[in-house]
Structure 1
Amino acid sequence: MQSFRTELENPVVEKDIIELEKKIRLFREGQIPEEKFRSLRLARGIYGQRQPGVQMIRIKLPYGKMTLEQWKRMSDVSDEYSTGNLHLTTRQDIQIHFVSLEKTPELWTKLDLDDITIREACGNTVRNITASDKAGIDPAEPFDITPYADAAFRYFLRNPVCQDMGRKFKIAFSSSDADTAWAFMHDIGVIPKIREINGQQVRGFKVMIGGGLGAQPYLAHIAYEFLEADQLIPYIETVLRVFDRNGERASRHKARMKFLIQKLGFEEFSRLVEEERLANKVKTFHVDADVWEEPELPAADAVLPAYTIKDPKKYEIWKATNAFRQKQADYYAAYVRVPLGNISSVISRQIIEGLKPAIGNDVRVTANQGLLLKYILPAHLPYVFSVLETAGFAEPGFDSVADITACPGTDTCNLAISSSTGIATALELVIQEEFPDLVYNKDIKIKISGCMNSCGQHGIAAIGFHGSSVKSGGKVLPALQVLLGGGIVGDGVGRVADKVIKVPSKRGPDVLRSLLNDYEANAQESEKFNDYYDRQGEKYFYDLLKPLTDLTTLQNDDFIDWGQGDKFATAIGVGECASVVIDLVATLLFEGEEKLQSSIVALESNQFADSIYHSYSTFIQTAKALLLGEGVNCNTQTGIINDFDKHFIETGKWPIDGGFKELVLQINQHEPSESFAKAYHKQAADFYQQAHALRQQPSAEVPAS
């Protein structure tokens, strides 16, 4: 692979890619345990598929932004290394599937040529930072949150405080009180606000914390009604430090931050966050939003190619449902419906080439798996439609009832129980053929996941489904859990959908027919679906759908999932949404040594806060290894610290003046200065060397500290 390294211009990325290549080789040679390698590759966006021997690559697009050049680059990469398909996700990423592991370093190199990364797109890291797709052009926004989302993305990428947490961490920026990025359902979600302070208009954010979807959805707490903008990144850093130290690591189902806050209580969690401030790398972080680089705009006198619109009536519906006037009064933006989030590389290049003269060079992947095109002159809207129409991507009704969100489900995901994409296609057909006027309805959102984990966001849908199974006569058939009543209220307030009833999957279209017919027949004038749901009550809808649960009328087809030819069987693999906890003493000591080396590198680069955190990680990993050698399992870093005092210090096995806790938690008692970074590194190095000596000579006494 020597030949492609010379193409890299970013030495940090080059180091990442060389390390990935080395680790793949060591893994293939049996020198790295599979569990450890899984953790490493996930943090580099490489995710195992349902199909053995191939990988899904997740490309991290901060707040969903991509230039036309980046879009083309990803298309070319998909052709060369994957299947020629781009899958747009609900986290505003792009995924490509069926990639050979050995090809991933080369693939990453090609992506980096246009400043595209896969780093920390998966694993126990800060995942892709999402944002309202309208940010920067939203007529309702107090200010453009894009520069702040971008700053957060860059600040936490490769940041030592969030490289190997107990679980993934999700951050979202909404552009206005409409909260279209769902701040209420994220580990940290923010909404822009402006307050007058001392006679000046000051930018800040309402900060929500501890929300989440998954099998157990939680609505976020309000951390701040107003936090000044230059305090946001330092606050997020303190939260990550608390989560890293106190978060669950043994049981991944209880490892998200929402469970930590539930366990500690919000008041105690907030106290711990405040305690971390002294150790922060920065106390304020100013984002100079006034010098934010605007996208390259289309020329006002651009000469467009000749075009024709095949379906003028469809254009008018598309313009009414997919286009809107930006806050920049001279321009429109237009949404593109991308069915199931899948668009081929061939069509992508066709659209890119056609749209170049007519749109701004800033395309956004939307959270419902579509695209947003920006800075379109009003006179160019018909041309933009014609380009999309020719490519087969000009369907109206973006984000309407007809625009269903679905995760990949059993197509590729290890965790999926039943098909998401097949049922989504069937439901869209029901709406198209039987309820065509609902293409204008943007109140009802339909979302589908292949399992309870809510990657398709069913937990906040007005009408949601997630994959499940039921038994009948000793045989298993695919099923759908029906959820109702979820959605956005606004300004950080949301609704979690109720689990109402479970039905065989093949009856999903009948569920939708029953719900929409009942709503049309009985809703009051202008009554929104969720208001109707509240008025009628959950029991009403349970009774409405109960006849569809009757298993005495099953047909052979009911035992075959959507889009499948064989009878249904639940075949759930090992999920990789978070890295696996490693309980191997040698591996833990190796990780401690790696952290120690990272501490040295950071010291040499005068990155004192980073060096301190790497030294802290050395203490933790090394202590965990020693405890494991004694048969003591710990599930949090705080537990490791306390248990080391109990099993080593208090028993006299390892004398440390003041104890291990006092030694390690110096990290909270000092500013991240050069002198402390050097002293703390030396203490961590001495501790590791003593542990290494003990491991090499189990019968030897531990040297005095």
Structure 2
Amino acid sequence: MQSFRTELENPIVEKDIIELEKKIRLFKEGKLDEERFRSLRLARGVYGQRQQGVQMVRIKLPYGRVNGDQLLRISDVSDEYSRGRLHITTRQDIQIHYVSLDRTPELWAELEKNDVTLREACGNTVRNVTASEIAGIDPEEPFDVSPYAHAVFQFFLRNPVCQEMGRKFKMSFSSSDKDSALSFIHDLGFIPKLQDNQRGFKVMLGGGLGSQPNHAELVHEFLPVDQLIPFIESVLRVFDRHGERAKRLKARMKFLVQELGLEAFLALVEEQKIALSYQTYPIQTEGFEADYEALKKIEAPQVSIADEKEYNAWLQTNVFAQKQEGFFGIGIKVKLGDFYTKEARKLATLVKNYSGNELRLSLRQNIVLRNVREDLLPFFYQELSALGFTAIGYNSTLDITACPGTDTCNLGIASSTGIADVLEDVIKAEYPEYLNNKDITIKISGCMNACGQHNMAHIGFQGMSIRQGKLVAPALQVLLGGGVLGNGSGRFADKVIKVPSKRGPQALRAILDDFKANQQTAESFLEYYDRKEQKYFYDFLKPFADTDNLTANDFVDWGHTEEYVKAVGVGECAGVVVDLVATLLFESEEKLQNATDTLNQQKWADSIYHSYTAIVNSAKALLLGESVKTNTQAGIIKQFEEIFGAEFELGTSFSEFTYQINNNEPSEAFAKQYLLDAQTFYKQVDAFRTKQLQHDTTK
């Protein structure tokens, strides 16, 4: 592959993209090991697919906000570098698939021309900051959380504190106490509150899904808005330093909080304060509200509705009043989150011309148009109908959430999109009463990692496999009883029974039929589930779990024609094995250069953190050379002192040398001194390693 130059106005972004191109080249030349390359690649939104030789690219769209020009740019990129299909995720991103690795830098450069990034969309970073898709127009919101979600996104993008954590970190902002952004399943979740006319947030910490779902804990009933970013930075510093790094399944924030205990964890958070880049951080809120006076003057063609019945059904299920009088939001139900660039371009033009040039992607993989005048609703219906975007059932039981599963994901065990497609057909044909039911949610994941959020749904399905002798068939774990309770509370579904995938529709029918037959007056699905209890559902679903009577059809997954093969974690292209210690030391040099660059930019706190990571990285390199296992940064510091403490002249213990970061404010003087210390330590480590290698070759 040939080097290229971008033509971007932002030199930081340009450097980032050129660095990706350089690392791809080094990887293909066998000069960068696969594990380190994977880490860098993922942090740039480039994710290996199930299909070898191609990548999934995740486009990071903070709180799902997209303007018309950005959607047009994304469409151009998808057509040029992919296959013209766009996939909305449950974190309000857009993914495109089947991208050549070699072309990802130029793809990224094209996106950045409209201020769209891939940076930190994947990997062990702060992932996309999500928010309620109706933030800013929600009649029940105390205030618009969009500016705060945006500020958090901006502050932590490329922030050295969160570039190489042990695992990913997720945050959400709900617009009201309904908690539609699901604070209870996030590492940090925020719900807006007013106290004495002052803005603040209720804060939830340590939630998560996956194979071991955990309900977040309340840490603040009211955190003033100017403390939002300092608090998040403190939490991230603790997670970066003390979070697990060796055992991937135990590396999420929820496990660290469980291990330390909430009180001890918050004590560590408090200890970070002196080192923070800001003690308070006021957030600008201007520029997020639409120009409603201009919107009132927009003119659109007059239309006549051919089918008033269909139009009224659409109004009832897909249209809702905003808090701004006379304006409405429109929910577009995007089946499985998939739509195409042809429709995307027309949608972009529509919002640019008639509704303030903004749309939001939703946590349920849908699209929300905002700021539509009431008198323009017939026109919008006509235009959206021509695009196939007026299917009723937005945010209803019919609106099933599903991850990509075995279609493209390395980790998929069974097809989630295939079964979702079939279950939607079942509901439409047999249960019309659920077309506008907002009280029961169905969610599907292709594996235990819960990207489809199956274990917090009223009715959830998780992709699995099931055996009949030596044969393996695709299966679904049926889960019941999850849901959002509001104001930071929620519940996780119980695992009820595992059934062959082809019997998923029968299981759903049995559940809905039993609910209809046994529901008491005004009883919700969750109340019904709690009254009947888990074993009741196991008993009436048990016949569907019998594997003695499987047919040939049961061994073919939904959406497939060939016999099922369980294939998890298909490898990406392999790189040549190289010296990992040398790689770590090379990375230390890069971190020191980053510390120097940010020092020259007068970003004292950033420079200090780069110096800190260079010190820890250099120490880790020598420990790795001694085959010492390291699973946290705090552990590295402790182990290095125990094993190598006497070998280095630092003027103090290694822990005190390193933890200067905790005891000094981020001043220019300390940033310069700490960088000098880090450079001196690196030189000593490099000399020590060189001496080791010379000794090894003379044995």
* TM bin (shorter chain): over 0.9
Q: Which residue of 1 aligns with 2:622?
A: 626
SS of 1:376 mapped into structure 2: strand
1:694–1:700 CA contact under 8 A, matched in 2: no
Q: 2:661 aligns with which of 655, 659, 667?
A: 667
Q: Which residue of 1 aligns with 2:163?
A: 163
Q: Bigger CA drift: 222-231 or 292-301?
A: 292-301
In 2, Cα distance between equivalents of 1:532 and 1:44: 45
Q: Bigger CA drift: 28-37 or 509-518?
A: 28-37
Q: Which residue of 1 aligns with 2:681?
A: 687
1:4–1:109 CA contact under 8 A, matched in 2: no
1:355–1:387 CA contact under 8 A, matched in 2: no
Runs of 4+ residues deviating >6 angstroms: 1-4
Q: Deviations over 1:147-179 (max 9, x none)?
A: 000000000000000000000000000011000
Alpha-carbon distance, 1:653 to partner: 2.7
1:415–1:575 CA contact under 8 A, matched in 2: no
Q: Which residue of 1 aligns with 2:237?
A: 241
In the superposition, the TM-score normalised over structure 1's length comes to 0.96
In 1, Cα distance between equivalents of 2:404 and 2:44: 21
1:299–1:357 CA contact under 8 A, matched in 2: no
Q: 1:292 aligns with which of 287, 295, 299?
A: 287
2:351–2:359 CA contact under 8 A, matched in 1: no
Q: Which residue of 2 aligns with 1:579?
A: none
Matched, 1:481 2:477: yes
Q: Which residue of 2 aligns with 1:67?
A: 67
SS of 2:172 mapped into structure 1: strand
Matches within 5 A, 1:225-304: 225-289=221-285, 291-295=286-290, 299-304=295-300
Matches within 5 A, 1:284-433: 284-289=280-285, 291-295=286-290, 299-305=295-301, 307-433=303-429
Q: Bigger CA drift: 57-66 or 520-529?
A: 520-529
Q: Deviations over 1:111-142 (max 9, x none)?
A: 11111000000000000000001100000000
Alpha-carbon distance, 1:575 to partner: 8.8
Alpha-carbon distance, 1:629 to partner: 1.3
Query: Kindly tell me: are residues 236 and 415 of structure 1, through their superposed partners in 2, closer, same or farther at Cα, counting changes over 3 Å?
Result: same
1:278–1:670 CA contact under 8 A, matched in 2: yes
1:207–1:225 CA contact under 8 A, matched in 2: yes
Q: Which residue of 2 aligns with 1:91?
A: 91
State percent identity of aligned pairs: 57
Q: Which residue of 1 aligns with 2:210?
A: 214
SS of 1:468 mapped into structure 2: strand
2:130–2:171 CA contact under 8 A, matched in 1: yes
In 2, Cα distance between equivalents of 1:327 and 1:583: 60
Q: Which residue of 1 aligns with 2:154?
A: 154
Q: Deviations over 1:221-278 (max 9, x none)?
A: 1110111110011000000000000000001110000000111111111110000111
Counterpart residue identity of residue 545, structure 1: L
Counterpart residue identity of residue 294, structure 1: E
Q: Which residue of 2 aligns with 1:141?
A: 141
Matches within 5 A, 1:48-67: 48-67=48-67
Q: Which residue of 2 aligns with 1:125?
A: 125
Counterpart residue identity of residue 261, structure 2: G
SS of 2:548 mapped into structure 1: helix
Q: Bigger CA drift: 670-679 or 310-319?
A: 310-319
Q: Deviations over 1:43-92 (max 9, x none)?
A: 00000000001010000000000001111111111001100000000000
SS of 1:26 mapped into structure 2: helix
Alpha-carbon distance, 1:6 to partner: 5.2
2:440–2:525 CA contact under 8 A, matched in 1: yes
Structure 1: runs of 5+ lacking an equivalent: 577-581
Alpha-carbon distance, 1:473 to partner: 2.5
Query: Kindly tell me: are residues 306 and 79 of structure 1, through their superposed partners in 2, closer, same or farther at Cα, counting changes over 3 Å?
Result: farther
In 2, Cα distance between equivalents of 1:447 and 1:254: 25
1:172–1:182 CA contact under 8 A, matched in 2: yes
Q: Deviations over 1:648-696 (max 9, x none)?
A: 11xx333443310010001000000111111111111000001111112
Matched, 1:610 2:606: yes
Alpha-carbon distance, 1:299 to partner: 3.8
Alpha-carbon distance, 1:353 to partner: 2.9
Query: Kindly tell me: are residues 119 and 575 of structure 1, through their superposed partners in 2, closer, same or farther at Cα, counting changes over 3 Å?
Result: farther
1:355–1:384 CA contact under 8 A, matched in 2: no
In 2, Cα distance between equivalents of 1:309 and 1:471: 54
In the superposition, the TM-score normalised over structure 2's length comes to 0.96
Query: Kindly tell me: are residues 218 and 628 of structure 1, through their superposed partners in 2, closer, same or farther at Cα, counting changes over 3 Å?
Result: same
Q: Which residue of 2 aligns with 1:15?
A: 15
2:352–2:358 CA contact under 8 A, matched in 1: no
In 2, Cα distance between equivalents of 1:419 and 1:549: 18
Structure 2: runs of 5+ lacking an equivalent: 573-577
Counterpart residue identity of residue 270, structure 1: L
Q: Which residue of 1 aligns with 2:439?
A: 443
1:296–1:361 CA contact under 8 A, matched in 2: no
Q: Which residue of 2 aligns with 1:25?
A: 25
2:322–2:329 CA contact under 8 A, matched in 1: yes
Question: What is the count of residue pairs matched by the alignment?
Answer: 690
RMSD between superposed Cα atoms in Å: 1.7
Alpha-carbon distance, 1:521 to partner: 1.1
In 2, Cα distance between equivalents of 1:527 and 1:386: 38
Q: Bigger CA drift: 300-309 or 172-181?
A: 300-309
Alpha-carbon distance, 1:3 to partner: 10
Query: Kindly tell me: are residues 686 and 475 of structure 1, through their superposed partners in 2, closer, same or farther at Cα, counting changes over 3 Å?
Result: same
Alpha-carbon distance, 1:619 to partner: 0.8
In 2, Cα distance between equivalents of 1:4 and 1:343: 32
Q: Which residue of 2 aligns with 1:570?
A: 566
1:247–1:636 CA contact under 8 A, matched in 2: yes
In 2, Cα distance between equivalents of 1:205 and 1:300: 33
SS of 2:647 mapped into structure 1: coil
